[in-house]
């Protein structure tokens, strides 16, 4: 299998930064000008030292006894996550999950702009879902190249995921957000993020089961 390119920034930190951003966005609405690591940590039940290390990745420098500028920190985190620029994306698989993603307008706040969708089902082709046109999946490489797409979203079943990934690679897409429960074989210069919903659910139900067990004792 072809390897996936690795990054120097710790992945757990990159997964925590969006949570910090949610806290900061709320503070901005409340007209809060500064925030400390201790406050953010308290909101998310984290260690303040860990929060400080994570924020340092963005290059921001806090002020003694004041903390961080909320406005500046929001900008730094968005820039670090790549959310400060709009990225055009395509989605393949307009079933229940794919349709829900197309309808989630908040993605635009994160720089994600889904400009086209694809499917194999003739009943779906030609439709417009939440303003996004649905095309035959075979047209993906052509449209991706013509529109200079660099991000693809896979919401098909596991049997079709690799075929879709291959089409995305032919279209020179370099980032794939994979919702299919199937590992993808991609070149080193293609980045894959597997969004495994079953894993997240498994963690939740496992914790719930343990809590229920402890409460019954």
Provide the percentage of residues in the chain whose pLDDT is more than 90: 74
pLDDT in tens, 12-22: 898 899 999 99
Q: Where are the alpha helices (DSSP H) in 30-88?
A: 37-44, 48-56, 70-81
Instruction: Give the alpha-carbon dihedral of 43, 48, 53, 59, to 10 degrees.
Output: 60
pLDDT in tens, 80-94: 998 988 899 999 999
Mean pLDDT of all residues in 136-154? 97
pTM assigned to the model = 0.82
Size of the chain in residues: 217
Q: Which has more confidence, 214 or 55?
A: 55
Kindly report the backbone phi and psi dihedral angles of residue 64, in degrees, each rounded to the nearest multiple of 5, phi listed first: -55, 135
Q: What is the pLDDT of residue 74?
A: 96
Of 151-155, 166-170, 212-216, the one with minimum mean pLDDT is: 212-216
Kindly report the backbone phi and psi dihedral angles of residue 3, in degrees, each rounded to the nearest multiple of 5, phi listed first: -80, 155
């Amino acid at each position: 299998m072809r390897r996936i390119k690795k990054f120097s920034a710790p992945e757990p930190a990159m997964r925590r930064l969006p949570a910090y951003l949610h806290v900061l966005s709320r503070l901005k609405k409340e007209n809060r000008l500064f925030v400390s690591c201790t406050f953010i940590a308290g909101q998310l039940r984290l260690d303040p030292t860990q929060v400080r290390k994570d924020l340092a990745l963005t290059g921001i420098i806090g002020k003694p006894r004041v903390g961080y500028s909320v406005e500046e920190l929001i900008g730094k985190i968005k820039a670090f996550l790549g959310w400060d620029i709009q990225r055009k994306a395509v989605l393949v698989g307009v079933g229940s999950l794919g349709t829900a993603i197309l309808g989630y307008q908040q993605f635009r706040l994160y720089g994600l702009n889904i400009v086209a969708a694809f499917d194999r089902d003739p009943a779906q082709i030609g439709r417009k879902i939440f303003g996004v046109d649905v095309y035959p999946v075979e047209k993906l490489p052509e449209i991706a190249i013509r529109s200079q797409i660099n991000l693809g979203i896979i919401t098909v079943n596991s049997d079709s995921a690799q075929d879709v990934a291959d089409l995305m690679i032919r279209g020179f897409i370099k980032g794939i957000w994979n919702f299919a429960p199937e590992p993808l074989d991609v070149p080193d210069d293609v980045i894959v993020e597997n969004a495994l919903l079953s894993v997240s659910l498994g963690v939740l139900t496992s914790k719930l089961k343990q809590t229920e067990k402890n409460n019954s004792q």
